[in-house]
Structure 1
Amino acid sequence: MDTKVTAGRVFLSGTVEKDYTWEHISPQHIIVFIYSGEMTLSYGKSTLDFVTGDTVLVPKNQLIRVFKKPVDGEPFKAVSMFLPEEELRKFYQNRMVLENLDEGMAKQRPIKSHPLLASFFSSLFSYFDMQNELPDSLVPIKIQEALTIIDEVDKRASAILGTFSEIGKIDLEKYMEEHFMYNLPLERFAFLTGRSLTTFKSDFKKTFKTTPGKWLTEKRLNLAHHKLASEKQKATDVYHSVGFENLSHFSFAFKKAFGVSPRNIN
């Protein structure tokens, strides 16, 4: 799930000719320009939909579920630009940065669509005709160019891209209630809430009066039961969306909890 990236990269995402979804955390901010198709980002219980021509900011250290979808016979295709902190610090050191960064901004649309952005990303196609990724020597130049355009067309992005603080200790109850359906090890939940694993477990017990494992399983199974019984979804569509890694484990846990197979819920 984690992408280990230490340097900037600019590359053409492989074309996706059928619906595709996965969970993702990036240690760097990512800019994505959609050439064709549609993409949905889910941040906990918040969902954003993007279409052809949109520029998407995927903030670092944000737990998201990504859904890519071809449209009208056109595959999903996008260019992705990883933004290393070194390049961001270089760009923002002498520029104004909005100071009203809040938790919800990353879950909005901090980069509006603009002809300048469409023109810039389209110009990269000539490079991608030769190879799928820009040469290392060009990456810093293109990153600085993209940041310049973004800063001109939508200053809100600076509140995210120009802020360099580390993850601080956040509201554990609120975060877990919004993200329990993601299939993460406890170490990652601890990191994303600004805690060591030991502190996470201790704070969790104080907050929820039970262990993380028991609480996560119960929450995921209750959500699955709702999707199956009330929304009439199929077990094969539900298990991953509520945080189970495979169908067999989900089916076993569900039957143990409710006394009936998820396939037999009416």
Structure 2
Amino acid sequence: MTTHQIHSCHLGPELSPEQFISDHYFMFLLKGSMKAYDGRKHYSMQSGDCFIARKNHLIRYTKFREDDQFIKIIITLDEPFLKRFTERHTYPVSPSTYGDSFLYVNENSFIKQYIQSLEPYYSSDSELDETFADIKREELLLILLRSQPELASIFFNFSAPHKIDLEEYMQQNFRFNISLERFAFLTGRSVSSFKRDFKKTFGMTPGSWLMKKRLDEAYFQLNSQHQKPSTVYLEVGFEDLSHFSFVFKKTFGKTPSEVATSKA
């Protein structure tokens, strides 16, 4: 019996490396599993699941290999492509009632056949020509809208995020390591109005508040939840363990390791 290397397949523009979803994308898990968190809700995806990740949402996810493999199909549905699609196809768009960052796609025979049609591109080193890639993306979109027409309200809403409650949003999402510009955009504000509203709401600058909030959360995770410093610093939004340890000790007088091993 011959075996071949199985690769992941990606159609469309590359995804942002940030914890910010800049474009909608469809994902099908061929092998492995995922757990994700959007600041409000936890999601779990198993091999064989397919779902849509929504743009303008924050997400942190952990991948789990199966037989040392994590194999996926990702198809990015970016705004330029979706706008070209609406020039050829008309769908009624009503206000979206979806609140989740991940939307599970209903299993059906069309999706199964579509995934099978991509098999040559994830089971070999073959690459799909750019012209055909757009055709395959359009095929997927037609299938999704046929089985779940209400998705039109998500895909074809091209407006920027509207102004939302700043305190509620920041309390929910302070753990995400994104720029102030992203936070401003996602709360429906310019950077200057974001900083101004932030000072009115919290009585300090965004940078100072985020640092304090993340350090307080880290102390709680280490002291009460007995988490490891190597896990906590990423969970609360720091990029570097040594920097986290430095500012933590400067703030609390103890290193993260000392707090984690002390008795509460």
Normalising by structure 1, report the TM-score.
0.84
- Partners of 1:165 and 1:128 in 2: how far apart? 34
Shift of 1:153: 2.3
Q: CA deviation at 1:85?
A: 2.3
**Does residue 1:70 correspond to 2:65, yes or no?**
yes
Change (3 A) 1:49 1:23: farther
Partner of 1:16: none
Match of 2:48 among 50, 53, 56: 53
Which whole-Å deviations, capped at 9, do the CAs of 1:95-118 have from their partners, x for residues lacking one?
44452414x533352523334323
Q: How many percent identity over aligned positions?
A: 37
Amino acid at match of 1:64: I
1:32-181 equivalence runs, <5 A: 32-71=27-66, 73-92=67-86, 94-97=89-92, 99-102=94-97, 104-107=98-101, 109-131=103-125, 133-181=127-175
C-alpha change, 1:213 and 1:86, in structure 2 (3 Å) is closer
| Structure 1 Cα separation of the partners of residues 194 and 75 of structure 2 | 33
SS at match of 2:182: helix
Q: 1:118 to 1:228 in 2, by over 3 A?
A: farther
TM-score of the superposed pair, with normalisation by structure 2: 0.85
Structure 2 CA distance for aligned equivalents of residues 89 and 96 of structure 1? 12
| SS of the residue 1:138 aligns to | helix
The higher radius of gyration belongs to: 2
Find the partner of 1:254 among 248, 255, 264. Answer: 248
**For the Cα contact (< 8 Å) 1:111–1:156, is it kept in 2?**
no
* Aligned-residue CA RMSD (Å): 2.2
Q: Per-residue deviation at 1:221?
A: 1.0
Partner of 1:235: 229
Shift of 1:258: 1.7
Matches of 1:155 and 1:45 in 2, distance apart?
26
The answer to whether structure 1 residue 204 and structure 2 residue 205 are counterparts is no
Structure 1, unaligned runs of 5 or more: 1-8, 14-21
Tell me the amino acid that sits aligned with residue 116 of structure 1: F
Conservation of the 8 A alpha-carbon contact between 1:53 and 1:118: no
Change (3 A) 1:180 1:250: same
Please give the per-residue CA displacement for 1:43-82, whole angstroms capped at 9, x wherever unaligned: 11322111111112111222211221113x2511101111
Give the letter aligned to residue 39 of structure 2.
Answer: G
